[in-house]
Amino acid sequence: MNMQNTPTLPFYQPAAEECALFETAYTNGLPLLLKGPTGCGKTRFVEHMAARLNKPLYTVACHDDLSAADLIGRYLLKGGETVWVDGPLTRAVREGGICYLDEVVEARKDVTVVLHPLTDTRRTLMIDRTGEELVAPKGFMLVASYNPGYQNVLKRLKPSTRQRFLSIAFDFPGEAAEIAVVARESGLEPGRVAPLVRLAGRIRSLSGMDLEEGVSTRLLIYAATLMAGGMGINQALEAAIVQPLSDEPDVGVALRDLISTIYG
């Protein structure tokens, strides 16, 4: 969990009207769901908007063992005493901040039960262990994200949960925008970033390759950062693209062949 409260805006390149939609949702106390592939900018977008609104941000990376208690809080032993310690969701509600649940479908089922009263007109959080019922103040906002293309039968966001949120669909930026983002984040000049972005486009368009996901903008930034630091192209792309995308030798060979067509 990470808490952020800073007036400095993390860099984010808007794709459409998502910033205005986020602000409108915030103003009206509406929950927001971000849908899109891994590494396309969802988390950076939330960080940018929290700083833009000057709101405390509690980010929770959801996982298989994340329970409602992890979000709400629990009693802990401190100095020989048993004290209640708020979880990130409770702190965000008390402070009127933003709670961002990244990859919410990874969390346990009891998490969505806790979220439902916060996503309708009640805007309440029940803390059973203390008997408190918190009413979220005007500044509180719940944001969640997930990757629709990486769901399976056992991990799927239920329609009854999805329909409690406004939703924005994210995707990888267009070529010019992605070049600008990668160049700014890595320090590599745009002329050297352009082939990286073309490579990413080729990988993303391949349907016959055994890849769960295409190369993310995040991985392109990693590769460009290595290159800006003086690492050779093949070594940088091996470490930042080939190896992260697959463990399959055949896929690795196909990726290297594709790299050779781009970089000659």
Q: Is the pLDDT of residue 213 over 60?
A: yes
Determine what percent of the chain is predicted with pLDDT higher than 90. Answer: 77
Q: Which residues pair with 146 in a beta bridge?
A: 35
Sign of torsion over alpha carbons 187, 178, 255, 192: negative
For 228-256, the pLDDT digits (tens) are 999 999 999 999 999 999 999 999 999 99
> Helix %, strand %, coil % for the chain, to 5?
45, 20, 35
For 101-134, the pLDDT digits (tens) are 999 999 988 898 899 999 999 999 999 999 999 9
**Rounded CA gap, 33 and 152, in Å?**
19
For 147-171, the pLDDT digits (tens) are 887 655 456 788 888 899 999 999 9
pTM metric for this prediction: 0.87
Determine what percent of the chain is predicted with pLDDT higher than 70. Answer: 93
Reduced to 3 states, what is the DSSP secondary structure of residue 200? helix
Cβ neighbours around 106 below 10 Å, total: 18
pLDDT at 53: 96
**Rounded CA gap, 214 and 204, in Å?**
5
Helix pair angle (42-52, 18-27), 10° resolution: 50
Q: Tell me what the mean pLDDT of segment 129-150 comes to.
A: 92
54 pLDDT band, cuts 50/70/90, is very high
